[in-house]
Amino acid sequence: MKALIDDLKFPNIVNITGSTRAGKSVLTRKIMEQYKYFWDYIYICCPTMKASSDWKDWKDNSTQDEYPKIKHFTDPSTIEGHMREIYRQAKDVKESFQSDEMKQIRQYQEPPQICIVLDDLAETNLLRFGSFLDKQSISTRHWNITLIVLAQRTCGTGRNLRLNSAYHIAFNCANFSELERITIERVPKKYRKEFEDKLEQIYSEPYNFMMFDAFNPNIKERLWKNGTELIRLG
Question: How close are the terminal C-alpha atoms of the chain, in Å?
Answer: 19
> Strand 229-230 relative to strand 69-73: parallel, antiparallel, unpaired?
unpaired
Q: Quick one: the chain helix, strand, coil %, rounded to 5?
A: 40, 20, 45
Q: How far apart are CA 106 and CA 66, in angstroms?
A: 24
Alpha helices for the chain (secondary structure H):
24-35, 79-96, 132-136, 159-163, 176-186, 192-202
Task: Give residue limits of the domains in the chain.
Answer: 4-230
Digit-by-digit pLDDT tens for the chain (234 residues) are 689 999 999 999 999 999 888 899 999 999 999 999 999 999 999 999 988 889 999 999 999 999 999 999 999 999 999 999 999 999 999 888 887 777 677 666 788 999 999 998 876 888 998 999 999 999 999 999 999 999 988 888 899 999 999 999 999 876 778 888 899 999 999 999 999 999 989 999 989 999 999 989 999 999 999 999 999 999
Provide the 3-class DSSP secondary structure of residue 211. strand
Report pTM. Answer: 0.93
Q: How far apart are CA 67 and CA 15, in angstroms?
A: 25
181: left (phi over 0), alpha (psi -120 to 50) or beta: alpha
| CATH fold of 4-230 | Rossmann fold (3.40.50)
Q: How far apart are CA 74 and CA 47, in angstroms?
A: 4
Closest by Cα among 1, 53, 2, 61 to 36: 61
Report how many helices (DSSP H) and strands (DSSP E) the chain contains, helices first: 6, 9
